[in-house]
Structure 1
Amino acid sequence: MNVTEAVSSRRSIRAFLDTPVDRDVLERVLTMAQRAPSGGNTQPWHGVVLTGEPLARLISRVADDLPKGTAAHAPEYDIYPKGLDGAYESRRRGVGEDMYASLAIPREDRMARLMWFARNFQAFGAPVLMLVHTPRYMGPPQWSDVGMWLQTIMLLLRGEGLDSCPQEAWAIYSRQIREVVAIPDDHIFFCGLAIGHRDPDAVVNSFPVARAPLEEAVRWEGWQ
């Protein structure tokens, strides 16, 4: 698979098979991903790769607090900026509605939507979950570096025939995560990355995800 094929076939997978993932493959991917760019070669990314009993323990711990609703949430950063509006908010809401439409869950069925959202905290059935963190004093440029590292990992996973789902949703349970996974106190928890094999029969893995046209993102100057 070349880079273009990896980019075009990568998507956030929300239904995984229970097929195990070979650690050797993950080590190969993560070793190569160390080549991701970072300002000044700081490489500010850190990850904890969970499977088996440690992953089950984390899922169980978060499940204990799911019934508490937002009272149990303790994100260490704003997942979306306050005041998100315009095209940015429209895209965010749009992909959610498209996903629920693919699942035949109407807007008024709030309980069904909440139950589906809770699947985030089962890593959508993936056998592997990587938890990503970075030192608290890192600024926006270093967070950008972490994003480039994650994108590199996701594309390399496609090259190995694997899939993933970057999950900022895990951030709302950062306190519970820290209870069962050793993340340094002077680091901020960022996100999870579910890793495994996509379920090819799950409709949630195939609904069209709209992207903005190039002219909304890029302006050209000095070109004939």
Structure 2
Amino acid sequence: MHVDEAITSRKSVRRFLPKPVELPVLEHILRVAARAPSGNNVQPWKVYAVAGEARERLCQAIYHAAQHEPDRHHPEYAYYPTTWVEPYLERRRRCGLGLYASLGIGRDDKRAREQQMLRNYLFFDAPVGLLVTMDRRLNTGSFMDLGMFIQSIMLAARGQGLHTCAQAAFAWYHKIAREQLPISEHEILTCGIALGYEDPSAPENAFITERASLEEFASLYGF
């Protein structure tokens, strides 16, 4: 797959087929992604991949916590702003409305929205879940490195005919994840990634988020 196609065909898939991802395929994806750049080549990332019974235990533990004690859990870094400003507020609103509309969930259907949110903690039924961490002893720049690594995972997955969904929602449940996996005290759980084969019949997978035009985000001089 040409890199342009991998980038433009990448999307957030929220329902996967029950088709396993073979270990050599996963290892290939991670080895390719490890070529992502990082400042002074510090490579600040770690990945915990779960499948089978390990995935089931993790998912059930986090799902239970999200259902029954969500107020007890908080991420170790701020992903979203405390106050939203434009144009980001409107982009966020359109994304949420578009996703729920694709699922036939009304704006006032709080229970259905909550149930859809909880599906994050099942990796949207993907057979493989990844938890990505970063060493907390590093600094803000390493978050840029981490972003490039995560994007590299998602693009390498497209090269293998797979799809993904990056999920910051897992960051809230780092305490539960530490009970299930050997995540050290020096690591921040930054996100999860669902990895598997897309269910093409799922309506939510037909929802494609829009992008700002080139003129909106780029200033070009001297051309």
TM-score w.r.t. structure 1 length? 0.96
Match of 2:10 in 1: 10
The residue matched to 1:112 in structure 2 has which SS?
helix
- 1:23 to partner: Cα distance: 0.6
Distance 2:138 2:88 in 1: 25
Letter aligned with residue 25 of structure 2: V
Structure 1: which 5+ runs fail to align?
none
1:90 partnered with 2:90: yes
1:72 partnered with 2:72: yes
Post-superposition CA distance 1:86-110 (Å, at most 9, x none): 1112111211110000011011110
Match of 2:59 in 1: 59
Q: How does 1:35-54 map to 2 (within 5 A)?
A: 35-54=35-54
The residue matched to 1:86 in structure 2 has which SS?
coil
Q: How does 1:16-165 map to 2 (within 5 A)?
A: 16-165=16-165
- 1:163 to partner: Cα distance: 0.7
- 1:53 to partner: Cα distance: 0.8
Match of 1:211 in 2: 211
Q: Number of aligned residue pairs: give it.
A: 223
Distance 1:59 1:70 in 2: 15
Distance 1:212 1:35 in 2: 28
- 1:222 to partner: Cα distance: 1.8
Match of 1:179 in 2: 179
Match of 1:196 in 2: 196
Distance 2:209 2:63 in 1: 29
Letter aligned with residue 151 of structure 2: Q
8 Å Cα contact 2:11-2:208 kept in structure 1: no
- 1:69 to partner: Cα distance: 5.0
- 1:180 to partner: Cα distance: 1.1
Structure 2: which 5+ runs fail to align?
none
Distance 1:143 1:208 in 2: 26
Distance 1:67 1:150 in 2: 28
Post-superposition CA distance 1:174-198 (Å, at most 9, x none): 1111111110111111000110000
The residue matched to 2:87 in structure 1 has which SS?
helix
- 1:137 to partner: Cα distance: 2.0
8 Å Cα contact 1:102-1:204 kept in structure 2: yes
8 Å Cα contact 2:17-2:125 kept in structure 1: yes
Distance 1:14 1:69 in 2: 24
Distance 2:143 2:73 in 1: 22
8 Å Cα contact 1:72-1:173 kept in structure 2: no
Distance 1:66 1:156 in 2: 31
- 1:122 to partner: Cα distance: 0.4
- 1:63 to partner: Cα distance: 2.2
